[in-house]
Amino acid sequence: MAVIDRVLVGEGLVIENRPNGSDSLDLKNVAHIDLIMGPRGSAAEDAFCRTLTDQKEGVNGLLAIIAPNMMVKPNTVMFNKVTLRNTKQSLQMFGPAQRGISMAVMDCVADGTIPVEEADDIFICIGVFIDQTADMDDRIQDWNYEATKIAIKSAVAREPKAADLLKVYKDSSHPFAAKNKEDRNRRVADTAISQMRHRNPFNVTPRATDPADVAVSEMRERNPLTPSKG
């Protein structure tokens, strides 16, 4: 029986404080993933095709790739949830966000979350949040990697369950919820992040290094039509 036999929905949020001991949340580089996935013939495949072909100014769909000429499997399309207004923001979408998301998808195949025998016939659509003030490419890449993996694993596990939510939703906290006082907002944000980590066993330690610096070399080795420098 197929593991991914219907349209599945998942989401993932990753955020920490600003670096250098700051006590404020890093809202500039926060990663929030919205995801749908499903098998061939499902609404997820229809959404995949519409997202990839319905391009608009400031809103783009792009295939997730590990490196040039190396598209991920399952077929994955990314779309931005914030209007792309400049080259820097576009490159963050096409660069670190794409790399982090693509690696997360493939790692979920490698660890068996997505069965490899089903991967060629699954379609994934991923909504990506990149703030227009984002300023740390390493966090964009690492946090979108983590958030995507959270979303995929939650979707495949069909979590959270409605019965479980009923037990905890009234006592939950949201890091961005409206609050009356700044100090209360800070405490609630800290509580929300702690709850997020406790709820989610899928967080991973960001990778210390990234092999993206050899991507062009790998592309040349894979593609005999690419001329080498003589």
151-163: burial string, b at 16+ Cβ within 10 Å, e else: bbbbbbeeeeeee
Cβ within 8 Å of residue 225, ≥6 positions away: none
How, if at all, do strands 8-14 and 31-39 pair? Answer: antiparallel
174 flagged as catalytic: no
How, if at all, do strands 61-63 and 31-39 pair? Answer: unpaired
CA dist., res. 22 & res. 152, Å (int): 31
CA dist., res. 66 & res. 122, Å (int): 17
Of 4, 14, 29, 32, the catalytic one is 32
CA dist., res. 202 & res. 105, Å (int): 13
How, if at all, do strands 31-39 and 70-71 pair? Answer: unpaired
Chain centre distance of CA 25: 19
Return the closest-CA partner of residue 46 out of 153, 136, 123.
123
Dihedral (Cα; 167, 171, 173, 179), 10-degree rounding? 140
Active site residues: 32
